[in-house]
Structure formats: C-alpha cells, structure tokens
Amino acid sequence: MNVEVFTTPTCEDCRNFKKFLSEHHILFTEFNIAVHPEHADTLFNRTGKRLVP
C-alpha cells in the first residue's frame, strides 16, 4: 500500500504523520503544496478541503 500525503513545510502535523508512517514502514508519496501549488487543486478535488495533512 502507498499512502498519498499532502503537506506544507510549516505543518507540524504533517511532519509527525510522515514520521509515524516511516517508523511503521508504510510507504508514502509526499505532495508538498507549497512547492507544487497544483497539488492543492488535487487535494481539493479529492476531499473538498484545502487542509493538510
């Protein structure tokens, strides 16, 4: 299983969640919406929200 994680550099919950996934050997793909703003549209289209993680 590969989890998709939408993040921003200043999001502490994002860092904690990525750490949790790594510690439990869960593969994830990170989509940093600060670096790639187009990922914010993907996040909104999937969830109806612009909140991370």
Confidence (pLDDT) at 2: 86
The model's pTM is 0.85
The distance between the two most distant Cα atoms of the chain, rounded to a whole number of Å, is 29
Question: Hey, where are the domains in the chain?
Answer: 2-47
Q: What class, spelled out in words, does domain 2-47 have in CATH? A: alpha beta
Residue among 20, 19, 5, 16 at smallest CA distance from 52? 5
Q: Which residues of 1-10 are buried (b: 16+ CB within 10 A; e: fewer)?
A: eeeeebbeee
Question: pLDDT tens digit string along 1-25?
Answer: 789 999 999 999 999 999 999 999 9
- CB-CB contact of 47 with 3 (8 Å): no
